[in-house]
Chains A and B, each alone.
Chain A
């Protein structure tokens, strides 16, 4: 376990150290100019910003995220299945039937989402 986790933690430490070093270096070396309110306005190609960032957004963003979770579970179940597929095939076609049923149901779900125009970006 430690042979695999040790280097990852060391790498994470090296990366975090690198990021802090660089940001600290920029603070040290960067010029300290005065910050005028005009300069601090959000950058919108010079057009003065109309309203704050919390404007209304379309529903499609989180519907994609919801569907991503549900199909990600399917992918997670497919990973262990892919490992033992050939071994279990030697004992007969049962493992094949299992997966076809699983994927058929979820592909029907994808088909429902597709035909239900839930994925169409207006």
Chain B
């Protein structure tokens, strides 16, 4: 295995964020605990952030880093409200199983 494709280029970062993204998707599909599903969504958003920064570096264009800011804001707001809902469900049903979320009306 020659050493030249070990040298890190943009492709290595894209592959790494692809792997992280698929682990996040796996977490959302497999787990039944609502909070762990929220965590997996955070992981997927982080994988996208990694892509933005990698493109910002390798194409010398700063807009990638600016987009990371906005992805961070949306992810934080989503986590805050998502957890508030999960807490409300826990107080009502004593467990945070995803099946309990079907009862949310309105």
**A interface residues, Cβ below 8 angstroms from B:** 59, 62, 66, 69-70, 72-73, 76-77
Tell me the count of chain B residues lying within 8 A, CB to CB, of chain A: 11
B73 interface residue (CB < 8 Å to A):
yes
B102 to chain A, nearest CB (A): 24
A-B contacts, 21 listed (Cβ < 8 Å): A59-B87, A59-B91, A62-B83, A62-B87, A66-B80, A66-B83, A66-B84, A69-B76, A69-B79, A69-B80, A70-B76, A70-B77, A70-B80, A72-B76, A73-B72, A73-B73, A73-B76, A73-B77, A76-B69, A76-B72, A77-B69
Nearest chain B residue, comparing its CB with the CB of A67:
B80
Nearest chain B residue, comparing its CB with the CB of A80:
B69
* Dominant secondary structure of chain B at its interface with chain A: helix
* B91 contacts across to A, CB distance below 8 A: 59
* B84 contacts across to A, CB distance below 8 A: 66
Within 8 A of A (CB), among B77-101: 77, 79-80, 83-84, 87, 91
B99 to chain A, nearest CB (A): 22
A62–B81 alpha-carbon span in the complex (Å) = 11
A68 to chain B, nearest CB (A): 9
Nearest chain A residue, comparing its CB with the CB of B88:
A59
A69–B83 alpha-carbon span in the complex (Å) = 12
A62 to chain B, nearest CB (A): 6
